[in-house]
Amino acid sequence: MKVLFVSGIGGDTRRYRCLHHQEQLTLSGITSTLREPDDPALYVDAPTHDALILHRVAWQPAIADLVAVMRARGKPVIFETDDLVFAPELQDRIAYLDTLSPEAARRFRNDMTQVARTFSECDCVLTTTNYLAEAAEEHGKPAFVQRNAVSDEMVRCAERAHARPRERGEQVTLAYFSGTGSHNRDFATIAPVLAELMTRYPQVVLHLSGHLDAGPSLQPFSSRIRRAPFVAWQELPELIAQADINLAPLELDNPFCQAKSEIKYVEAALVGVPTVASATDAFVHAIRPGETGFLAATADEWRDHLTALVEDGALRARIGAAARRAVYAAYLPEVAAGSLAATLGAIVARFGHAPAPGDEVATLVAGQFVRRWQEQAAATAQAERQADELRRALAQRESQRGANGAPGVAETRAAQVELLREIVERLQGSRS
């Protein structure tokens, strides 16, 4: 079996849902390819792969071509997601939109609508949690769960961090690793409880990593709050290992938060740090309360669990060690590999069908390839025309400047602004 991944988004989501999957497939002896949605090589890949996985890809002509070829060949088309991106009707619940300008938010909403269109064109969904699988089925698609798993390199980084000796001292470090500014609402759900704990326990310090607004309730404790910028995933284990307690709050009444995976627990467990997490679908699946971590659904539960961990270093060590054993047993690549291979095999068996005659498929692919080449040639020609126009405009400005003598500073700035406006107008006109 050969699997073709097309990923429409980068960062950690591509890493977990494409690169880690590829590593797992390799362990099972399955070949895979990863492409960008606009890669012309897709037209060569489509006739040679046995399953197509579209990872959060917006609907566009190239994807329509790709789906048509796979359909003609009788091969399954799978929508892959780790988030609730196929439900545009819930867009107003997305915290990330709070961080965007109006224009960026408009583009994001439009992209999400096109991603939902891709979802609608697929045979089934491969996703991270039971909650997301149920949501996909409510939107009319059969769904399969393949939980997020770690990579070999993640394990190596975590083992180095875990092995490094540390002087804990009397301080107890609570840590929150936010990643993006979209988690301000999540953190706000526990900020008052953290303020209470920092009032009661002077040895407690708070480590905040990534883009986060801590809020007014924690302002009096600013001298005990450490800040760290967003770091690459290879450096994250070292940062987590410096903590005593990992915090994983989410808004329980937000469907996008309920859809999140348990990866924050997994990443902390790799270095033996215990987690207190909101009682969302994924954390409930992953954490055995009181054994491998703690779950909290109310402020009182957050307060009780954090108090127990702050006061009892032996409890922290016991929970952290148990969590590490549990993650090694369930989330390593070699464990996930068998599950992924079996799931994809079941999808191919269920959604595969007899192909169209070979000459029909060849004609379809050839026609699509020619059209793609023509579109790219036209786009290249248009870009060259725009560049020529801009060069002529610049030359004209320079000749006018030479004829009129050297302008003053104000005149130069005004001319530059006018030229930039002209360039923007030309570019906007070419896109409309």
Q: What is the pLDDT along the chain (432 residues), one digit of tens a residue?
A: 999 999 999 999 999 999 999 999 999 999 999 999 999 899 889 889 999 999 999 999 999 999 999 999 999 999 999 999 998 877 777 767 777 788 887 888 888 899 999 999 999 999 999 999 999 999 999 999 999 999 999 999 999 999 998 877 889 999 999 866 567 889 999 999 999 999 999 999 999 998 788 889 999 999 999 999 889 999 999 999 999 999 999 999 999 999 999 999 999 999 999 999 999 999 999 999 999 999 999 999 999 999 999 999 999 999 999 999 999 999 999 999 999 999 999 999 999 988 887 767 666 666 666 676 667 667 677 767 777 776 776 677 666 655 555 555 455 555 555 655 665 565 555 444
- The DSSP letter of residue 215 is -
How far, in Å, are 377, 417, 423, 425 from residue 429 at the CA level? 19, 18, 10, 6
List of long-range contacts for 168-171, beta carbons under 8 Å, 24+ apart: 168/244, 168/313, 170/203, 171/203, 171/204, 171/205
Domains in the chain (CATH in brackets) are 2-149+335-353 (3.40.50.2000), 152-331 (3.40.50.2000), 369-426 (no CATH)
pLDDT at residue number 429: 55
User: According to the model, what pLDDT value does residue 211 have?
Assistant: 79
Q: 28 with 338: CB under 8 angstroms? A: yes
pTM of the model: 0.83
CA dist., res. 348 & res. 341, Å (int): 11
Quote the crossing angle between the two packed helices 313-330 and 299-311, to the nearest 10°.
110
Helix (H) and strand (E) counts in the chain: 18, 12
pLDDT, position 405: 54
Q: Which pLDDT score is estimated for 40? A: 87
Dist. CA 202–CA 307, nearest whole Å:
13
- The pLDDT value given to residue 144: 99
Residue 337, both tokens:
């590999």
Provide the pLDDT for residue 57: 98
Query: pLDDT at position 374, please?
Result: 66
Per-residue model confidence (pLDDT) at position 107: 86
Residues 6+ apart with CB under 8 A from 65: 42, 43, 46, 368, 371, 372
The pLDDT of residue 392 is 75
- Would you state the pLDDT for residue 168? 75
Residue 411: the pLDDT is 54
Q: Are the C-beta atoms of 145 and 162 separated by less than 8 Å?
A: no
* One-letter identity of residue 107: R
